[in-house]
Chain A
Amino acid sequence: MLTQLLRSSISSALPILVAALGASFTQTVGKLNIAIEGTMLTSCFVSVYVAARSNSWLLGVTIAMILSCLMSLFVWFLHRYLRADIFVVGLGVNVAASGLVVLLSSILLGSKGTIFFEEIPKIPVLRFEALQRNETLRTLLSDYSVLELVAMFVVFLSWLITKTPLGLRMRAVGKNESVARQLGLNVDGIRISSFVFCGLLCGLAGSMLSLPLGLFVAGMTNNRGWLALVAAVLGGENPLGVLGVSLTLGFSVALSHRLQLFTALPAEIVLSIPLILTLCVVLIYNVLKIGEKGGSP
């Protein structure tokens, strides 16, 4: 029971974590992209639709990642070249995406509700034969889908990037733009690259939600994008911090699923549990942080 809960925490945490790392890149360069929710939702739809059409999940993920990369560059473009407020543009993308996916699904598939894609290609699963005998190890370590493994690899990669010159330059740009410029850094290029990373990661995160299930609903992301933002803001520039917060979030999402199945709590209350838990974690974190400094924030 507990191991299953842990396992499903990991599975729920991964999409949030991936998206959060994307957001964290943009935050590092000082331009937090809050269009995550909309970008994820769009790639949810695109990946599952393309996968069902082309009968290749890989193509679905790729197209979704490219598209969400374009979306995130769109945000950057509006902000940089038309001087739009990045935060309002992000909200706009979120609102537009929620309309767009329903519109697309009603035009392309003739339905607005839950859409099941029956002939969706199965994503391969990695199974360790050696672990099959031990129940606990099997639930925890085996049977991850390729997508999830890719996500884990991406997490590792993001951590690696923060250690490269590019990662350090991103931090420099975020810390002080004009100094970075005077040092001869290509500020625009660095920011664009962080938005590209953000888009790619959001695309992956979106596909992770819809592809394994082979279905699409308009409310599919269900605030995960916002949870990812919370993780990014709290985790800051440190991918390990983002990892910690995302795991907490994943755990609370998994817990709320369990509660929905096994208790008589009303669905509405259960749905709000991840948010409430996150808020509490955030509060405790902030209180501790203030305590460490021993003064007012």
Chain B
Amino acid sequence: MTHRKVLSPIFTVVVAFLICAVILGATSRQPRETLRWFFLGPFSNLYYFGNMLAASVPLIFTGLAACIAFSAGVFNLGLEGQYYFGAIVGTIIALSVPTSRLSSTLFVLVVSFSVGGLLSLASALLKLEFGFSELISSFMIGQIFIYVGDFMLNGPFRDPEAALAATRYLDEGIGLAKILPPSNLHVGYVIGLTLCLVFHFVRKHSVMGYEFKTVKENPRFAKIHGIKVEKIWLLAMLLSGGVAAVGGMVEILGVYGRAVRGFSHGNGFNGIAVSLLVRNDPALIFLSALFFAYLESGGEIASLMVQTPPEIVRLVQGIVFCLVTAEFLFRRSERDADSVA
């Protein structure tokens, strides 16, 4: 890690905080109260703190998903759709398998993984077969399946007794164990961290990791070297979509207990920024996920306590996106090979 690699994300975070504070202060009637709840709210008690950690769980998964794709030099812009649709299909399966067994939880996660993986695999195939940019195709396929998911929740799989478009509640036995009751924090946090670490080691210390890196940096060189570039791209996309979908499923098993329309609310997209904020370093993804979750919970608490519009968070997240890859104050010659370009 060079100096710049550490300083740049910190600088981004500081700038984001400042902008956030200015916007909050300017738009609120009681600026001091608002700022206090926004920035200190998530730490004010164990319940809010646990919820903040819980809110970072889906971001860890989608961040890792984005990171996997970036590591092989491909883009997966369909994370939102994979996260959403994979989890919905998983939930529907979960409603019809015998519950309260660890094996059924695992089975459901595998189902989500395959569904999400297939969605992203489709855009990888389009890239290889027809040379159609995976950037656009993954986004479009993702969007289509968000609509399909909406349709499934509102139509055939809607719980007739529910007031909103949602499935029936899952049996409690299949859900993930809570860590810090009464907050929402659940075992998914540990699963997410483990996956990140596994990928970190795979990337650093395995042949596959070497192949990923070579393909990302120079596909032509990789090909000459005898690496099957197409295979690596397909694999990276498959894993990326799969991990995103598992993230959605974990969120449902751990927090929601059923699939609700619109439950993904930007978690898929934010995964991209989560990964980029730490320059695609899987070992640090949990930190940037926590940062995003902190903003989100701060916004939520502030809107609960002093009625700030929660959309401020989206604005701030957008600004973070804009600054994530910017290089402030640093010499240009040091351009990071790891940043996506």
Contact = CB atoms under 8 A, between A and B. Distances in A.
Interface of A: 38, 78, 82-85, 87-89, 91-100, 102-103, 106-107, 112, 223, 226, 229-230, 233, 266, 268-269, 271-272, 275-276, 278-279, 282-283, 286-287, 290, 297
A45 to B, nearest CB: 13
A95 B321 contact: yes
A104 to B, nearest CB: 9
16 contacts: A82-B326, A85-B341, A88-B322, A89-B322, A91-B321, A92-B319, A92-B322, A93-B318, A93-B322, A98-B311, A99-B311, A223-B143, A226-B139, A268-B155, A269-B151, A279-B137
Interface string B291-333: 0000000000000000001011111111111111111100010
Given A94-B318, A96-B319, A223-B143, 15 more contacts: A83-B332, A84-B326, A88-B325, A92-B321, A93-B318, A95-B318, A99-B312, A100-B315, A102-B314, A226-B140, A233-B133, A266-B155, A271-B147, A275-B144, A282-B137
Given A99-B311, A269-B151, A88 B321 contact: yes
Given A103-B309, A230-B136, A88 B318 contact: no
Contacts of B144: 272, 275-276, 279
A71 to B, nearest CB: 11
A96 B325 CA distance: 16
Given A96-B322, A106-B311, A268 B328 contact: no
Contacts of A276: 144
B335 interface: yes
B293 to A, nearest CB: 16
Contacts of A102: 309, 311, 314
Interface in B149-185: 150-151, 154-155
A272 B315 contact: no
Contacts of A286: 130-132
Nearest to A91: B321
A278 B144 CA distance: 11
A181 B298 CA distance: 48
A297 B131 contact: yes
B84 interface: no
Contacts of B324: 84, 88, 92
Contacts of B319: 92, 96
A95 B137 contact: no
Contact of A282 (B75, B132, B309, B325): B132
Contacts of B311: 98-100, 102-103, 106, 112
A94, A99, A283: residue with the most chain B Cβ atoms closer than 10 Å: A99
B154 A78 contact: no
Contact of A272 (B132, B133, B148, B309): B148
User: Which 9 A-B residue pairs are closest in the complex by CB-CB distance?
Assistant: A96-B318, A92-B321, A99-B314, A297-B131, A99-B315, A92-B322, A95-B318, A272-B147, A268-B151
B269 interface: yes
Given A85-B339, A112-B309, A272-B147, A91 B269 contact: yes
B141 interface: yes
A86 to B, nearest CB: 9
Contacts of A266: 151, 154-155
Nearest to B272: A91
Nearest to A268: B151
A95 B328 CA distance: 22
Given A83-B326, A103-B315, A271-B147, A88 B140 contact: no
B206 interface: no
Nearest to A88: B325
Contact of A84 (B139, B148, B269, B322): B322
Contacts of B335: 83
Contact of B269 (A85, A95, A233, A287): A95
A279 B134 CA distance: 12
A287 B140 CA distance: 18
Contacts of A100: 311, 315, 318
B6 interface: no
B340 interface: yes
Nearest to A34: B135
A181 B131 CA distance: 30
A287 B129 CA distance: 9
A226 B143 CA distance: 11
B273 interface: yes
Nearest to A95: B318
A19 to B, nearest CB: 15
A108 to B, nearest CB: 11
Nearest to A230: B136
Contacts of A233: 133, 136
A93 B141 CA distance: 22
A279 B318 contact: no
Contact of B130 (A38, A83, A290): A290
